[in-house]
Amino acid sequence: MVTWSNDAILALKQIHDFIALDSRHYAQKVALELWGYAEELSLFPHKGRIVPEMRQKLIREVFIYSYRMIYQISTTGIIVLQLVHQRKKLNKKVVLSKN
């Protein structure tokens, strides 16, 4: 099972809205691919690497397009914690604040 934190849902919406300024079609495509990739993580939770800034084996990340999808492996499944553009510095407090 995959759940999304409020921060991750907000980030997904912001990504969609930003891309939609140029192309609604591409915005929907990217948003659906990000959502679908999260669903795949429930089958392969260790697919991503450990987040270097955090060094916790249950908090991992995968790269999709220009984004880092940061997620936590839990006993109930996957929790998508945050989506962050690769060029932005990761705020560890923001990632962990919703757990």
Domain locations in the chain? 2-94
The DSSP-derived string for 44-84 is -TTSSEEPTTT--TTEEEEEETTEEEEEEEETTEEEEEEEE
Q: Is the pTM of the predicted complex or chain greater than 0.75?
A: yes
In whole angstroms, what is the distance from residue 6 CA to residue 47 CA?
Answer: 23
Looking at residue 17, what is its pLDDT?
97
Looking at residue 89, what is its pLDDT?
76
Looking at residue 87, what is its pLDDT?
83
> Which CATH superfamily is 2-94 part of?
RelE-like (3.30.2310.20)
User: In order along the chain (99 residues), what is the average pLDDT of each group of 10 residues?
Assistant: 95 96 97 95 94 92 94 94 87 58
Looking at residue 99, what is its pLDDT?
45
